[in-house]
Amino acid sequence: SGFYIALGTVAASIFFYSVSRTGEDGKPSAIHRALEQWADLKDKWEVRNQLTTAAVEQAGRDKNIFINAPRNTHYELRHPEAFQHGSPFNVPAGHYVNMDKVVAHYRKQHLDEEERKAKNLAAAE
């Protein structure tokens, strides 16, 4: 087996010697040309990594803005029953809050909006 290793080593040495020699007229070797092709990839990857890093940092800043933005605490209720969801049966007197003021507020708001729409419609004609 040592004979085959020595024979393979000699063949590999001859191959690498012939590939590593410069060509005629000072032309670079095949190994040098291959390494030059791959050397450009380093610059491309550097630019690509810088762009990716900038995009990720910008995404992080945007996410931070959205997460820390103040929330709207006002909820427009379409149905006043949403305050008192539950069974209306077998409820002792006084256990539900009187919602008449809330209903009146939203009814007035609705009527004001309808009046405004009617005025706009009359003005458009």
Mean pLDDT for the chain?
84
Report whether 28 contacts 36 (CB < 8 A): yes
Question: What are the tokens at 48?
Answer: 């690509």
Q: What is the pLDDT of residue 50?
A: 97
Domain ranges of the chain: 2-68, 73-86+96-125
Q: What is the pLDDT of residue 118?
A: 92
- Position 18 confidence tier, pLDDT thresholds 50, 70, 90: confident
Q: Tens of pLDDT along 66-123?
A: 888 887 766 677 776 666 667 767 667 777 767 788 889 999 999 999 999 999 988 9
Question: What are the tokens at 77?
Answer: 């209720």
Identify the CA nearest to 15 among candidates 25, 33, 30, 3. 30
Question: Across residues 1-13, what is the average pLDDT?
Answer: 93
d(CA 123, CA 18): 94
Q: What is the longest distance spanned by two Cα atoms in the chain?
A: 107
Q: Tens of pLDDT along 24-40?
A: 777 888 778 888 888 88
User: How would you classify residue 96: left for phi > 0, otherwise alpha for psi between -120 and 50, otherwise beta?
Assistant: beta
